[in-house]
Amino acid sequence: ACLFGNYAGDIMNVKMAIELAEEDGISVKTVIANDDVPSAPKSEREKRRGVAGEVLMWKVGGAKAALGGDLDAVIAAAQKAIDNTRSIGIGLTPCTIPAVGKPNFSIEPGKMEVGIGHHGEPGIEVTDLKTADEMAQMMLDVILPDLPFNTGDEVVVLISGLGATPVMELYILYNKVAELLEDKQISVYRPYVGDYFTSLEMMGVTLTVMKLDDELKTLIDLDADSMGFTQFKK
């Protein structure tokens, strides 16, 4: 199983890798993450980028494999995960790609870019810098209607810094996100706050919400021990 984001370079490289694997008699199936709501309208969801929702897709797919699921079962679980996941990012500063040596875009001081991509792809608007509480409301207003998420849902909330955002700031944002979800009677089953899906030294944040069913809860709960994601019994 190959689980990756919806980027032209990634797709090209995966296709070449699949061809090589198939020459060796290895069967490969894929799931392409497209959780980034601002990157394309809902009617063209297949064009959306994959962002921090990929982390939850990898967790669910990996858990299914760890439980002995075959290729089709792993693919089905990963696809269900990403289909029930929505994300939005906000950037406060650009990042510097080492091979380039300078920022590949700019954000004026006191401004923020809503819907920014992890490679610096433009967002949906540049606006005045907001407070964490205002950002939480703005981000949820974009992603909750898109699935949609409804009263009574249980969700995973993942808040990832983009590389240079203090963890304390991420928790301040999560506090308001949790409060707003509670107001809508949406229950946070598991929160994840930290640097899970970063963009070098960019300051900013991604908010990801995944709607759960019984299968996804079981797979999310499974222990994990890796460089990028570690958790133990709830």
DSSP assignment of the chain equals: -EEEES-HHHHHHHHHHHHHHHHTT----EEEE--BGGGS-GGGGGGPPP-THHHHHHHHHHHHHHTT--HHHHHHHHHHHHHTEEEEEEESS--B-TTT-SBSS---TTEEEET--TT----SEEEE---HHHHHHHHHHHHTTTTT--TT-EEEEEEEE-BSS-HHHHHHHHHHHHHHHHHTT-EEEEEEEE-SS--TTB-EEEEEEEE--HHHHHHHHS-EESSS-EE---
Catalytic residue from among 29, 45, 119, 217? 119
> Is 119 noted as a catalytic residue in this protein?
yes
Which positions are catalytic? 119
